[in-house]
Structure 1
């Protein structure tokens, strides 16, 4: 069966050519009105002057499928759709048959003249020689298969009629249809549109993929609906609507591991993973996994209130403005709260347009660390000097300094409030150690480093940032005058890369070592070697627990000094029975203290931001129902809180304060006036999850040492009380004595990278106090190998040496370096800077829907990373305005901090000779750079908004705040920054990527299905790669053996020389003694 798929334009062209070549009388060549009328209605995109038909758009692009065997008309009639030569050869017979056929149907066609102008003209001129313009329409006179031809021709006439109606009216003149029949005008219009899009005035280039996908889906749906409804008839319908040009890429997943990770090499003595829970079946462990029921209720209430406000309230909306409805009055407080995050909005002074700042001069937190006012009676009645003399450490100052002078390493044990954090640095300064270098003090948290530095500067009566300063990541408030420097442990760790012996420091105090942070254990091994190389260096390790024997034995049985006594007495009360909901019990305890206990501020320890906000919300709700209750100021405290709101906990108020905090307030943070402490018994710890291949925060019971630390917060400035929301039996039986060190439960990617850069080739040779598990080190090294930081033998590559210089996670450092190759390092620098600061979007209470609407304005539909880039660009375009940030619910201080981070990273890029290149709006290139860092966190679409991790098979979901969520375009492949756990596994910060990018950037995991001609070739390629890596590994083993043999030979040679020198010295001594005896006559 032969089929013809032709367009109306092609039919007209063939008819016109056939009649030009026919030899007919002159009267037959006269132009009929029907013909001229028909040719004047050329569709858009069809050039009458050229023979090439254009592609028709939307409804004008229709296909007519004709089957030659279905027509029951004379054979010569089919030559209309045949080759031009056959038409010329049979024109005479075709004309006679058409005349006979049209004469039968003329009477029938005259009844349809009112429906179509074209059909009436065709009937009136049915006897004309130009038979190509005449149409068979009366299907009742054509029996059998002839009806198909008539129906299709009738449908063609109807389509033509409606098409003319869409193009400006059936009776309008030719000049009203601007582009009809004019190829030059149509091409000029297309060029104009292309130039407009190139300038970015119509849409962003990064949205082209989404737009093309939406257009393809809409066209397929429109064709399907037209075919289903019968408006368009076709002989052959493709119901699957697969586009061969835009076929989906099939990505194959495979797993390749380098030979140094196949198990033959042992990196640690700790083989098994370490559990962070003492008994997984205990009541506290079960309660931690189950979570708080009250928090879930609060979450549901907020969601319901959000939906009710969205659908029923019109205050503050456009419709409300039209009819005069004002916004609810309760929004006044929330608006003040939103402006609290941008306190400088009223001083809206635009800065210089040049994107250059000094990240030292523009430190964020220092502007909020005001001089603390005395709150307690103890602080009000004594001067700072008298307060220093009252501390327990002052009573043993001389004895302690004598121990420090006699020993290079000293371990000091002092309970919370003994004064070791603020006084030891000043004692060393007063003893003269600052003559040989700075006195450094490390803190596990940045808030502690800043607050302690502020306190010491007040006691020394100097300006913060001069003689006393602090340094945290991306913020350095020190100067050439600085002699006492407080810093986080990561800052000192990075300084060890530049100075292996830390020559700028005369003494280092490692404070709060009992917390055993990740950087703490690494610093232990580094400082231990520094002490061996520098005899003038002093190392002091402080701990608030009495099990400091482990620290003393690690450094070689060094002396341990204990500071006696606690400052004030603290009473501890346990719960009578295990509580089912720790959030509800916390709220009840706060209300009881506030209504029935003497004055004094309250400090509450919770797990995280969601629990803290729930406690604050419920407290405000229940206190509002109590008649005549005294005022209570509830202040949250967590790491993601803006700096100015964090600093509010130090302000002196006339009302009772209730500080609801994470364990950030557990150590080295003294808030004057705290008298009551409520301990929930839980905290969030970072634990490596091998199922997802990354760290995750999970709620778990605290340790006994943490519980004692929390209780000590109540006795810093006066007698206090600690309420523990767990029983004494649970304290003894269900809590670990000490928290599991972070090095044994988290990802060690950056630590391995740092140790490799320090020259530690074998991790077994490094001095770990507690060795990390084998699986943690293996997974971390595997991630570094995937990113290209390690080669096939486990050695550091050139890109790995550059990655370690940046104070970033390895994936972000890889993204920044790879962006130079793609020509988009300027944009990626901004993306990395925005990811290195807390979330810049602010969601005030009771205004979530309004803030979400403002956030959606910045969405780039293909990427959350590009959304952050868009926010920064818009902020820059508005002259870095604080008021603009307030209007759009954005933290101005977060953006300014991102700007400072960008400046610091740009300085490091200049040092590493990484060129800063702009992509000029090619955001697809930026997405590819993001894919180069996170292709191992790739997910494939499973359903609408549902994905599955391509490597682990773990289900993932788009977060409701993602730019890809609910926009109608669901990409096949995405990469994400991290996973968060709430009710589901949500992908945080997602970007759509192409399947070809995954195969190009992650060949050890992915390959395109069409990239191999057969499975045999694929297996051969995998075998070749495996053999190549095995050869490199064997060469490394041989080189290491040769190197070890050379080291042994050198060692033997040194021993031989030493023995020869000793023998020579012995002979010389014997000779000298003999000469002496002869001289004296012996």
Structure 2
């Protein structure tokens, strides 16, 4: 098919690409913009802003390949686009795909474009709606976790990759879409890798579907090697050229040199904002506090220095522009996986790249994450060098001869794949279980994931997804927490366990106190602490927060500030909790009335949590707080911010506890812990899990309890849902008042 680009009338001056209009097997010429007086998507006249933005769009490097891209889209199911952040691919390619689907009158579906960050999905949707001259939430919308802004009129939707992946559980062939764009494929998130693998099979069954993969070089070449040389690869030219300056100093000594360089640049009075890429979000927040103090000490004649923490962990939107704050210079503090968040920042004149990243890598043998400091990839380094405006400078705080890996390591190989295996088992139910991974998971990780799902009763005797496993996959939670949530329905403690699940799924509600106020913050947090453990402390915090929202003439934001708590995190927890409750109602599962504060409820919450977290049990072996973990025979300390870490001198440390998180580091720590009795553990743990525990003194103690006190429920326990049902039949104390911590 020959495609032509012709100049339209003098009214707009845009280029027209004519592609076939296919309806019921016949082709006719379809010209985009044949009558540019009217918007082809809503039928209304274009506004003057549309033409202004159109001029800006035509200056993007991606615009040079518009006709070539549309030609490739017509003749190929899969197209790979290689380009950096400032080329405009994330905003323009989805619009052209919408035009392609419009040419078929959307009979094959609408357009969806994935992002890895929720904030970026929203920002791009807003920008593209503006460029297309339509209303956000109508022709252009977005879907991110806990928030959807779409309608029946939506033809182009931005969403996070995990949102699209979960859609596949109800629409395995993604038949709602005629074109799917996977953006930021070079980041190799777990969700994007799964989509890349599953879409390969979907394309074979849906010849009308179009998939466009947006990536950065050299990761695009790596993708091409996976899909084959027959797949077209379209390379975009970068228009930004920065002067690159490398450091001759140590690669590891970067934090304070980077901040000193920021101040030196500011003193030169050269115009332009600064972007600093550090190793982690924690370093970005620390740098933010330091620069706020140093900026206040600078001479007023230098102009205001405005630090901005811009990274995925930050809630909120981009700050105001330099025009709104005259005589100021913004310093964006960021880290890995945040390069694409600078797509809308046109004022960068300086980039400071430390060349390091701090990642958490999962070790399946001990079921724990280890903190690893390592160099960034060459792909990330190249993206950062091209973020400045023309003529800018990029300071690389590492020697030029430093060897960087070509691409980022896939998150699939660095994360627990238990949720991934549960999802793929769910896809097998829909006859779409084959996933052609770009990098296959390690066999050891796969076996550990299957074993864990088996322990959780998510698999049947044939290794297929059980009924419990199907229900577990409905929840956007870790499988262990999903199993605990199901158990709470049996133990009549749904309200409390849903609150715990929401608080653990949301960002941490505890704010890092300002310098010099650590003691005051700890005293505030002590008021919420529950004697039974951290899980119950989270319930106390959430319940008190919700109560503060109901008080008239009372500001929840001020309340959170006074108690060193994060208002946005608690708001997010509330939204997650509402979503989980909606899923429970949709599945018609029993929801009990809240009963927090009774001993019966406390015991039942522990039982429900142990139904999912029986693999994370530890025992204090010497009375000093050195906990031995039964599953892996490692030892760790309780995190200092835990209820027991802060109140050990008052309450004493429990001998047995279960924990939510274990991190390998110089000082191994277990976080979010609550005390249990060994009898409750024996009651809830599947027998074959117990007998597979490695030999230890702690296991011998449990065996002794089973031999002398365990009978009935404990000995005949099975790993299926019968474990939950039989446990509810155990005699419990009568409900009575429980002395719990409350805010006075």
Deviation at 1:980, TM superposition (A): 3.9
Equivalent of 1:895 in 570, 577, 593? 570
Equivalent of 1:779 in 448, 463, 472? 448
Task: Write the mapping of 1:536-685 to structure 2, written as runs, cut at 5 A.
Answer: 536-546=208-218, 548-596=220-268, 598-623=270-295, 627=299, 629-641=302-314, 643-644=315-316, 646-648=317-319, 652-654=324-326, 655-670=328-343, 671-685=345-359
1:699 to 1:403, Cα distance in 2 relative to 1, 3 A: same
Task: Write the mapping of 1:682-721 to structure 2, written as runs, cut at 5 A.
Answer: 682-690=356-364, 692-715=366-389, 718-721=390-393
* Contact preservation (8 Å) 1:931, 1:993: no
CA distance in 2, matches of 1:577, 1:969: 49
Per-residue Cα deviation, 1:574-598 (whole angstroms, up to 9, x for no partner): 1123345111221121122111251
* Contact preservation (8 Å) 2:424, 2:433: no
* Contact preservation (8 Å) 1:958, 1:987: yes
1:672 to 1:769, Cα distance in 2 relative to 1, 3 A: same
User: What is the aligned partner in structure 2 of residue 769 from structure 1?
Assistant: 438
Per-residue Cα deviation, 1:435-460 (whole angstroms, up to 9, x for no partner): 23221011122222222222212222
Q: Is 2:688 aligned against 1:1004?
A: yes
1:843 to 1:551, Cα distance in 2 relative to 1, 3 A: closer
Deviation at 1:780, TM superposition (A): 1.5
Deviation at 1:689, TM superposition (A): 1.9
User: What is the aligned partner in structure 1 of residue 397 from structure 2?
Assistant: 725
1:597 to 1:793, Cα distance in 2 relative to 1, 3 A: farther
1:623 to 1:491, Cα distance in 2 relative to 1, 3 A: closer
User: What is the aligned partner in structure 1 of residue 25 from structure 2?
Assistant: none
* Contact preservation (8 Å) 1:819, 1:828: yes
Q: Is 2:668 aligned against 1:974?
A: no
* Contact preservation (8 Å) 1:601, 1:673: yes
Deviation at 1:765, TM superposition (A): 5.3
User: What is the aligned partner in structure 2 of residue 939 from structure 1?
Assistant: 618
Q: Is 2:182 aligned against 1:510?
A: yes
Q: Which runs of 5+ in 2 are unaligned?
A: 1-48, 691-698, 720-744
1:668 to 1:619, Cα distance in 2 relative to 1, 3 A: closer
Point out the structure with the larger helix share.
Answer: 1
CA distance in 1, matches of 2:145, 2:445: 25
Deviation at 1:787, TM superposition (A): 1.8
Per-residue Cα deviation, 1:765-821 (whole angstroms, up to 9, x for no partner): 531122111111112222212222124542222111111111111111111111111
Task: Write the mapping of 1:96-111 to structure 2, written as runs, cut at 5 A.
Answer: none
User: What is the aligned partner in structure 2 of residue 912 from structure 1?
Assistant: 587
CA distance in 1, matches of 2:631, 2:424: 28
Per-residue Cα deviation, 1:734-753 (whole angstroms, up to 9, x for no partner): x2111221222221111111
Per-residue Cα deviation, 1:57-115 (whole angstroms, up to 9, x for no partner): xxxxxxxxxxxxxxxxxxxxxxxxxxxxxxxxxxxxxxxxxxxxxxxxxxxxxxxxxxx
Deviation at 1:1012, TM superposition (A): 5.0
1:761 to 1:473, Cα distance in 2 relative to 1, 3 A: closer
Q: Which is worse superposed, 861-870 or 757-766? A: 757-766
Secondary structure of 2:270 counterpart: coil
* Contact preservation (8 Å) 2:111, 2:155: yes
Point out the structure with the larger strand share.
Answer: 2
1:955 to 1:708, Cα distance in 2 relative to 1, 3 A: same
Q: Is 2:396 aligned against 1:736?
A: no
User: What is the aligned partner in structure 2 of residue 439 from structure 1?
Assistant: 111
* Contact preservation (8 Å) 2:491, 2:604: yes
CA distance in 2, matches of 1:763, 1:500: 7
Q: Which runs of 5+ in 1 are unaligned?
A: 1-379, 1026-1082
CA distance in 1, matches of 2:283, 2:664: 14
* Contact preservation (8 Å) 2:366, 2:631: no
CA distance in 1, matches of 2:465, 2:704: 34
CA distance in 2, matches of 1:467, 1:875: 38
Superposed CA RMSD: 2.8
User: What is the aligned partner in structure 2 of residue 789 from structure 1?
Assistant: 458
Q: Is 2:60 aligned against 1:391?
A: yes
Equivalent of 1:824 in 493, 496, 508? 493
Per-residue Cα deviation, 1:599-632 (whole angstroms, up to 9, x for no partner): 1100111122332233234434555555564321
Secondary structure of 2:342 counterpart: coil
* Contact preservation (8 Å) 1:392, 1:563: no
Equivalent of 2:520 in 843, 850, 853? 850
1:988 to 1:659, Cα distance in 2 relative to 1, 3 A: same
* Contact preservation (8 Å) 1:649, 1:659: no
1:691 to 1:561, Cα distance in 2 relative to 1, 3 A: closer
Q: Which has the larger radius of gyration?
A: 1
Secondary structure of 1:936 counterpart: coil
Q: Is 2:645 aligned against 1:962?
A: no
1:564 to 1:752, Cα distance in 2 relative to 1, 3 A: closer
Deviation at 1:659, TM superposition (A): 1.0
CA distance in 1, matches of 2:52, 2:514: 41
**Per chain length, whose mean CA-contact separation is higher, i.e. which structure has more relative contact order (CA < 8 Å, sep 6+)?**
1
* Contact preservation (8 Å) 2:172, 2:432: no
Deviation at 1:983, TM superposition (A): 5.2
CA distance in 1, matches of 2:138, 2:653: 54
Secondary structure of 1:747 counterpart: coil
Per-residue Cα deviation, 1:386-429 (whole angstroms, up to 9, x for no partner): 21010011122112101111111111222331111000111122
Secondary structure of 1:759 counterpart: helix
User: What is the aligned partner in structure 2 of residue 328 from structure 1?
Assistant: none
Deviation at 1:757, TM superposition (A): 1.1
User: What is the aligned partner in structure 2 of residue 41 from structure 1?
Assistant: none
Equivalent of 1:993 in 672, 676, 701? 676
Q: Is 2:545 aligned against 1:861?
A: no
User: What is the aligned partner in structure 1 of residue 480 from structure 2?
Assistant: 811
Equivalent of 1:466 in 138, 159, 172? 138
Deviation at 1:761, TM superposition (A): 11
Per-residue Cα deviation, 1:120-163 (whole angstroms, up to 9, x for no partner): xxxxxxxxxxxxxxxxxxxxxxxxxxxxxxxxxxxxxxxxxxxx
Per-residue Cα deviation, 1:870-926 (whole angstroms, up to 9, x for no partner): 122222333445243343333333222222212211121122221111352322211
User: What is the aligned partner in structure 1 of residue 471 from structure 2?
Assistant: 802
Secondary structure of 2:352 counterpart: strand
CA distance in 1, matches of 2:52, 2:450: 54
Secondary structure of 1:878 counterpart: helix
1:649 to 1:609, Cα distance in 2 relative to 1, 3 A: farther
Q: What is the TM-score normalised by the length of structure 1?
A: 0.56
User: What is the aligned partner in structure 2 of residue 400 from structure 1?
Assistant: 69
Per-residue Cα deviation, 1:316-358 (whole angstroms, up to 9, x for no partner): xxxxxxxxxxxxxxxxxxxxxxxxxxxxxxxxxxxxxxxxxxx
* Contact preservation (8 Å) 1:451, 1:669: no
* Contact preservation (8 Å) 2:359, 2:372: yes
User: What is the aligned partner in structure 1 of residue 733 from structure 2?
Assistant: none
Q: What is the TM-score normalised by the length of structure 2?
A: 0.80
* Contact preservation (8 Å) 1:471, 1:487: yes
Task: Write the mapping of 1:333-348 to structure 2, written as runs, cut at 5 A.
Answer: none
Secondary structure of 2:106 counterpart: helix
Secondary structure of 1:507 counterpart: strand
* Contact preservation (8 Å) 1:511, 1:542: yes
Deviation at 1:947, TM superposition (A): 1.5
1:470 to 1:761, Cα distance in 2 relative to 1, 3 A: closer
